[in-house]
């Protein structure tokens, strides 16, 4: 009897996985160093100088823009964006991607709250804040969530099909928006620069974990399908 030849299934240990692990490890090391410095008040002077430099450019127009950006990066704003992306992906039969972006955003909320209570960093009082918030500061939840969302969507956008100029512009636009959201939190006086830096690093770790999980799920699905084909 002739054996049935099937297409080889991609192994789990691959270049994307190794790249994800490398990013997570480097970002994790950076976060630990940053958190250690925050706990030991090593960035107090730098934080104050940077916030004052940002505050020097305050104007009614910039305040309105900052508040709009902060809404986009808030729980309500990012949930609406994530929901819209999920609907598009479900219609395109990308159910795994839709589920994973839900996991990504829920994880962002849980990680943010857990870390705020672990580090218990006080909010800035360098100048009267333009937004009233009374919980802890480190890390910035808006930054963590917006960068996680932007990184996750951008990577999938560039890896599916040919990375055209349009796709690159869309990905860079998402990342630029996340950076502006992070800056708006400092402009409004509700986050230290170290809060924002921590949010970016944690976003890199969490997004890498979600992308690696997505790849593992898709690989298992392909293997199951090959058994019954």
pLDDT at residue 1 in the model: 41
**% of residues, the chain, pLDDT over 90:** 69
3-state SS class at 93: coil
Cβ–Cβ < 8 Å for 201, 138: no
**Mean pLDDT value across the chain:** 89
> Of all helices (H) and strands (E), which one includes residue 95?
helix 95-119
Please list, residue by residue across 166-190, b when 16 or more beta carbons sit within 10 angstroms of its beta carbon and e when fewer do.
ebeeebeebbebbbbbbbbbbbbbb
Q: Give the pair of three-digit tokens for residue 6.
A: 């099937």
Cβ–Cβ < 8 Å for 131, 187: no
Residue given tokens 């955003």 in the structure block: 105
pLDDT above 80 for 111: yes
Which residues in the chain belong to E strands, given as ranges? none
Where in the chain are the domains? 62-218
pLDDT above 90 for 182: yes
Query: What are the tens digits of pLDDT across the range 147-158?
Result: 999 999 999 988
Q: Comparing 11 with 79, which gets the higher pLDDT?
A: 79
Three-point CA angle 171, 189, 66, nearest 5°: 40
pLDDT at residue 14 in the model: 66
Residue among 118, 116, 117 nearest 143 (CA)? 116
Residue given tokens 């996680």 in the structure block: 148
Quote the CA–CA distance of 221 and 228 in Å, as a whole number. 11
Residue among 218, 212, 223, 193 nearest 47 (CA)? 193
Cβ–Cβ < 8 Å for 108, 141: yes
Query: What are the tens digits of pLDDT across the range 14-35?
Result: 677 788 889 999 999 999 999 9
CA distances (Å), origin 164, targets 147, 149, 160? 22, 20, 10
Cβ–Cβ < 8 Å for 71, 77: yes
3-state SS class at 7: coil
């Amino acid at each position: 009897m002739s054996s049935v030849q099937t297409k080889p299934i991609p192994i789990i240990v691959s270049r994307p996985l190794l790249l994800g692990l490398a990013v997570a490890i480097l970002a994790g090391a950076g976060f630990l160093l940053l958190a250690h410095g925050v706990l030991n008040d090593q960035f107090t002077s730098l934080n104050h100088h940077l916030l004052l430099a940002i505050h020097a450019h305050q104007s009614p127009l910039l305040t309105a823009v900052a508040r709009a950006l902060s809404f986009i990066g808030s729980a309500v704003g990012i949930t609406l964006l994530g929901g819209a992306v999920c609907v598009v992906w479900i219609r395109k039969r990308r159910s795994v991607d839709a589920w994973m972006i839900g996991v990504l955003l829920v994880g962002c909320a849980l990680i943010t709250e857990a870390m705020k209570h672990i580090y218990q960093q006080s909010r800035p009082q360098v100048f009267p804040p333009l937004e009233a918030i009374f919980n802890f500061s480190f890390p910035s939840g808006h930054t963590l969530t917006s960068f996680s969302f932007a990184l996750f969507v951008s990577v999938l956008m560039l890896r599916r099909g040919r990375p055209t100029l349009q796709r690159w512009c869309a990905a860079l636009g998402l990342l630029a928006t996340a950076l502006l959201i992070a800056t708006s939190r400092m402009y409004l006086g509700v986050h230290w620069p170290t809060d924002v830096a921590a949010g970016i690093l944690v976003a890199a770790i969490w997004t890498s974990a979600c992308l690696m999980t997505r790849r593992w799920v898709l690989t298992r699905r392909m293997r199951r399908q090959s058994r019954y084909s």
